[in-house]
Structure 1
Amino acid sequence: MNINEIKYRDQVIRTYIKNRNWDKNNEFLLKQKLLLNSDQLLPKYPFVVEDEWEVEFGRSDSGLGDLIFTDGNGNFAVVEIKYIDKLNSGDTASNRRTKKRQKVREQSVKYANIYRENNFVKSIKAFIFTNENSEPIKIKKVIENGKLILK
């Protein structure tokens, strides 16, 4: 992807998400917040190049990634966005939140690896953005005893 295509994609995606006023679900509002404030929240990656991208080309049933940012020099950030319901209480609600947090972490790493395999990238980082944090959280991958552990 050359810099002209990157800038074009950035302009189209930003305009679309900024002006999309009919979708008021919590997860979309988080995405909109991240995109409108990305210069402060992800300053190393000034361009957004993917929105709701197919993890496997032509197979939306295999998953859709949320956003991908780039610095324009081959460095990318895959960001998965999830809204965590903090209002419900009890063991079941707590377990659901824990599972959702783990799932979004796993998705961000999985999707970053798939994007890296299918595109020319110098580096790729996985991030999550939820309503529980004021900024995207970088996911660290650690391999212990041959098993991938997310931190």
Structure 2
Amino acid sequence: MPNPTDLTVRQKSRVLEIAFDDGSAFSIPFELMRVYSPSAEVKGHGPGQEVLQLGKRDVGILGLEPVGNYAVKPEFDDGHASGIFTWDYLYKLGSEQGVMWQAYLDRLHAAGFQGDSGREPGTVLPGASTAPKSGCGHSH
């Protein structure tokens, strides 16, 4: 799996920009990160125990704590701070965000919350392209 070469939190646009050593780069919306947090609070403790996250459209990130050399742990401004995002998981979020976003909208709709995020099913988050972007050339 690729390793990150650059990681930037963009507060104004509410995205995590991440570049990898395979040349791919992604802008991952904070909202997508929050609703797909790998924590037990969101994922549950087994299949079918996922907790649908509502009202996360304007969620922000207060801080990003490194976890060893393999992950980061964001602190979201809604108080959620227990998800550990590995490099592999961030790569998956970035490369599959269009599909993952649609799955989230489908779950909202099935639960009767079609307008929760202010978007109709079939719309994609700004910047949710699955096409890899070129890196900015900086490494950290």
TM-score of the pair, normalised by structure 1: 0.26
Structure showing greater radius of gyration is 1
Higher RCO, 1 vs 2 (CA within 8 Å, ≥6 residues apart): 2
TM-score of the pair, normalised by structure 2: 0.28
Which is richer in strand? 1
